[in-house]
Structure 1
Amino acid sequence: MKDTNMQLRNLEFVSLDDIASEVSRLSALRYRRRGNWGLAATCEHLADWMSFPMDGFPKMSLRIQCLISLLRAFQGKRLFRKILTAKEMARGAPTIPATIHAASVDDASAVERYLQCIERLKTYRGTIHPSPLFGPMTYDELIALQCIHAAHHLRFLEPEESADRESRSN
């Protein structure tokens, strides 16, 4: 159930293991949605974006490629540094439509896919494909970006134990 009247959780991950622990915890508990996506849609989205630097980014239309290229040339590195420094992503930023998943995927399958992707990235030492928006990045920058991206989305899922505690304290 979506609940937009409450403040979002403050989350910060410093490692892929931190992300995996939180996703496993959310999977084991009931949670309250504070946004549009449940755990399945969130994990599918995060798994997509975690796999792109390893497997290559999806093809985009020529029009979108031109727009992204202009953004990368004039703002990409600055925006990337801002995200890494602030450890925060802008709320409501556009994304590739293919990374927005229907609610028909079950939580368990999506969580498993994301956890497998996390394990793969932990040991990945191949080529890191440049981000269409941010350009090339190091492995450490990629991990930092994945931690920020995961915190950005997972903060919209409130574990019921926290939500219950919050209700009892009011």
Structure 2
Amino acid sequence: MEQLRELHFDDLNAAVREARSLLQSGYNRNGNWSLGQICRHLVLVQDPSVDGYPKWMSLFAFLRPVMRRILLPKVLSGDSPRGIRTASMFVPPADLDDAREVEAFSASVTRFYAHLGDYAPHPAFGRLPRERIEQIHSAHAAHHLRFLAPRD
């Protein structure tokens, strides 16, 4: 199994800076997705915090207390499970332009922070304070971006 970078972001702006840095330096992939694919995935997962998630994602809401207790600490500690298939709506297409997707991710982060009030309930963890949703998305960005190593 390849050695992945250890990444932690205090906020989503740090994730945007990392994505821009990888765009500038170039990168080696240690996973399945390019920088553009990762950024598109992050946008697809993050935007519903503002816009709301599809209703079908609430079917397993009864599991949220267990997910908050077992999975959330893993996600926040940077110990997110690897290799779990994501819902098809969150899987990015193959041929994306890295620069365009990094900028789309940056715009999504700006929109995320500009949103007033509560974010939509997270499908796995339910309604959480703004700061916790930000931590979840920041940890999620670190989880994916660690699969890309800057070129020397």
Contact 1:76/1:135 (CA < 8 Å) preserved in 2? no
1:113-152 equivalent positions in 2, closer than 5 A: 113-152=104-143
1:85-164 equivalent positions in 2, closer than 5 A: 85-161=76-152
- Separation (CA, whole Å) in 2 of partners of 1:33 and 1:133: 28
Provide the alpha-carbon RMSD of the alignment.
1.8
Query: Which of the residues 39, 43, 68 maps onto 1:77?
Result: 68
Identity value in percent:
32
| Residue range with higher mean Cα deviation, 90-99 or 76-85 | 76-85
- Separation (CA, whole Å) in 1 of partners of 2:94 and 2:141: 19
Contact 2:76/2:139 (CA < 8 Å) preserved in 1? no
- Separation (CA, whole Å) in 1 of partners of 2:11 and 2:123: 24
Match of 1:9 in 2: 5
Match of 1:23 in 2: 19
- Separation (CA, whole Å) in 2 of partners of 1:111 and 1:85: 23
C-alpha displacement at 1:145, in angstroms? 0.6
User: 1:28 is aligned with what amino acid?
Assistant: Q
Q: TM-score, normalised by structure 2?
A: 0.90
Larger radius of gyration: 1
Contact 1:15/1:147 (CA < 8 Å) preserved in 2? yes
C-alpha distance after superposition, 1:103-142 (max 9, x if no partner): 1221111111101011112222133110121110111001
| Residue range with higher mean Cα deviation, 14-23 or 122-131 | 122-131
Structure 2 regions of 5+ residues with no counterpart? none
Q: 1:130 to 1:108 in 2, by over 3 A?
A: same
C-alpha displacement at 1:100, in angstroms? 0.6
Q: 1:128 to 1:106 in 2, by over 3 A?
A: same
Structure 1 regions of 5+ residues with no counterpart? 162-170
Q: TM-score, normalised by structure 1?
A: 0.81
C-alpha displacement at 1:53, in angstroms? 0.8
- Separation (CA, whole Å) in 1 of partners of 2:74 and 2:48: 19
Contact 1:54/1:126 (CA < 8 Å) preserved in 2? no
